[in-house]
Chain A
């Protein structure tokens, strides 16, 4: 009887709800990450607290290439994605076929990357659809999968996949604009473009920051497309951080990989904290 009550007391404690998840998080994420942090600060001669791994990282040409490509990719993709998806969302917002069009635009998000690899090859092949299409305007065919242009295959894949997602984020932000405000503007005689310019866009400003950050975080998933289209050793312009990490991993260069991981983690923690400050700001 007494022990039964004790058990019930433990079961009812709020910690019973949280201990399983907390244990999982600490075992699979926090503790191993601390171990990696320790390793990154350890050089071969077992001197604690040396920055030799980080210094090696910076001198590594492959690392600089991967960072450069990643930064370039983020710099090109995110503005493009934000503008295109905002334009689509503004159109959808006033469209009568909203439900149907939204499904169609969101669909690519659900399509597994492996499924489109074959189709990507058809489209981006030297004699493929995209070049045939460009041929209609008598433009020169481009070797999409080989040379410099491989970068654009990544950009197109990323935009194709994330367009619907970002659009839904914009639409959610637009749904928060009070309907009365828009109707009042209509009664006062403003046309569609005026009300977009003076009312919709300004009220999307807080959403703009968070959508930018979320898109940035998602852009690191583009490795899947890069890997499936071009394999482990892609053209130089497509070489991303994940390729580099995979190659280090195969060669067991744990010092480099831990220093690289920690550096990235620092960037991500910074971006995340920024995102949280956006959320906490009263609107």
Chain B
């Protein structure tokens, strides 16, 4: 009996320990998602409730802020307001979409063939050029700020969307991610196609693109999240407010219009979340490749 209890106690302790890990992890996950929870509960609050709750931040009241996780009177007024009566919001939203889509399309056309070149061909200076690409991929914006400004100024395209799109299009990170995808295609596969008479472009289009699609999608998902969030480049190269992307427009709305800020934030969040959940596997693949070289 004693022994039985001892074993049972040990077992319970083991189970507790096992769940303890999961519970701590769950707690961490909740903590990480807490800001998003605040956003979701805030957006359905009425203007009055927001104003009361945020009075101390707005400087019209004393004491602490109130924030009921369950809104008193749920309402969709802020979302309706911003979607129906704020034309400038639509302009800014589509600016963001346009910039992001153009960058990604451009990257696809420039980076995919280049990555194929690195993975499949040998040419003089390959090692040096590859190192150059890796260095450029990791350079922060601070370093490239003045160089980009000089060339964009010389091309006379400052304060146009092109000024943001063109340098980002030539980013070398997608080349690297796609390269990893292409490099894993077995050599025999390509040799077989070549023996059957396929030329370079046929091999690339019919073998390379489908088999390397993992790397390409990783690059697109990581790229979308990056450029949807882009701040430094538009801040430096755009002057006209009507050309701003969402990421620059959003912080300009004052705290008094808390409802509008929340609604705009939510709308900005939706496409990013969609891409995140649709492409999570590719995202993880891309991260793993960017850090550990495949």
Contacts and interface: CB of A to CB of B under 8 A. Distances in A.
A241 to B, nearest CB: 5
A211 B25 contact: no
Interface in A109-138: 109-123, 125-129, 132
Interface stretch (B81-89, B138-146, B184-192, B209-217): B138-146
Given A28-B170, A214-B291, A114 B229 contact: yes
Contact of B247 (A33, A92, A113, A125): A113
Given A17-B117, A110-B272, A25 B172 contact: yes
Interface string A248-279: 01000010011011001100110111011001
Contacts of A265: 139, 143
Nearest to A231: B251
Interface residues of A, number: 97
B83 to A, nearest CB: 17
B150 interface: yes
B114 A91 contact: no
Nearest to A168: B287
B29 A113 contact: no
A45 B155 CA distance: 27
Given A110-B275, A113-B247, A257-B145, A268 B280 contact: no
B29 A101 contact: yes
A12 B113 CA distance: 12
B38 interface: yes
B231 A228 contact: yes
B113 A115 contact: no
A163 B32 contact: yes
Given A112-B268, A128-B65, A164 B292 contact: no
Contacts of A260: 142
Interface stretch (B1-9, B56-64, B72-80): B56-64
A152 interface: no
A121 B147 contact: no
Contact of A168 (B110, B142, B284): B284
A36 B146 contact: yes
A118 B142 contact: no
B231 A113 contact: yes
Contacts of B170: 21, 24-25, 27-29
Contact of B268 (A33, A114, A214): A114
Contact of A105 (B29, B134, B151): B29
Given A88-B25, A168-B288, A228-B251, 18 more contacts: A20-B109, A21-B113, A30-B132, A91-B21, A110-B273, A112-B268, A113-B231, A118-B258, A122-B54, A163-B32, A164-B32, A169-B291, A220-B140, A220-B141, A241-B142, A246-B236, A249-B149, A273-B135
7 contacts: A13-B200, A107-B276, A114-B265, A127-B63, A207-B291, A254-B146, A276-B131
Interface of A: 11-18, 20-22, 24-25, 27-33, 35-36, 88, 91-92, 94-97, 101-123, 125-129, 132, 160, 163-165, 168-169, 172-173, 207, 210-211, 214, 217, 220-221, 223-224, 227-228, 241-242, 245-246, 249, 254, 257-258, 260-261, 264-265, 268-269, 271-273, 275-276, 279
